[in-house]
Amino acid sequence: MDMVRLRIDLGYDGTDFVGWAKQPGLRSVQTELEIAIKTVCRLDGHPRVAAAGRTDAGVHARAQVAQVDLPADAIGLTPVELFIESLTYRLRGYLPRDIAIRRVQLAPPGFDARFSALSRRYRYRVCDDPRELDPWRRRDTLEYPRPLDVDLLNQAAALFMGQHDFAAFCRKKPRATTIRTVLDARWERRCDRRTGEPTAMIKMSITADAFCHSMVRSLVGGMLAVGDGRRDLDWLGEYLNQQERGPDVTVAAARGLILDHVEYPPAEELAARAQLTRSRRE
């Protein structure tokens, strides 16, 4: 059967989801999207939707990228551009309010939402004075009970730059590598737009070729322990060199984390990138 691959750009509030991946009897982003596509396209079976990043329970996304393969006869004789326009409109009307469809488009040849990606960027938001946290930011910001030193946070982030085995910060999967390359990691304290004075809001941005399961939140937990003075940089460096995950690092809360961007190569390099990524992961 001839299939047509579509790319779907979307965002979601992860608060009420068990994560991206479907789990029996539980509410996931993947399940909601697959049901919506099956319903609006009137398919006999459930389509399989894959994503660039399998976000954990409670983690948000501003720029998730997904793909779905639809049978060509689902489009019929309708010009594909009109079909995609109609599909986008109907998905927006069917899906719950905590999932937002940004764009649906015909995927270029060789496109794979997961394996063609060059990098992913996540952001993490912390408020180190809970008295200053606005009520409407409580779903996407960690309330932290101790003052944080941004200089120390950035020194901690620098330890993770480059290629490392992040086994100490990941939940291992059978036959899967935990070697990743961090391309950028930095923290900044936001300033008041009117006065220019520093606020209690701190944001981290981290970009890597890929991330292991719970890796970002574990890295954040380690950096926060250094940033508030409970641990030093030597401890974090030694922990990074461990080959197994231990109890010393607290995994930061999911609500502060958001998938912010996924980078892809030019269309003519998508297939080669997917093949290279698969070989590395195996």
Q: Known catalytic residues? A: 56
Burial state string for 20-31 with b = 16 or more CB within 10 A and e = fewer than 16: bbbeeeeebbbb
CB 150 within 8 A of CB 202: yes
Quick one: 252 exposed, middle or buried, by C-beta within 10 A (0-12, 13-18, 19+)? buried
**Alpha-helical regions (H) of the chain:** 29-41, 72-75, 80-94, 150-158, 215-227, 233-240, 270-281
CA 241 to CA 168: how far, in whole Å?
7
For residues 201 and 47, what is the distance between their CA atoms, to the nearest angstrom?
A: 41
Q: How far is CA 22 from CA 33, 48, 51, 224, in A?
A: 10, 11, 12, 31
Residue 251 near residue 124 (C-beta atoms within 8 A):
no
Give yes or no for a contact between 18 and 88, defined as CB atoms under 8 angstroms apart: no
Report whether 198 contacts 188 (CB < 8 A). no
Residue with tokens 């961090």: 182
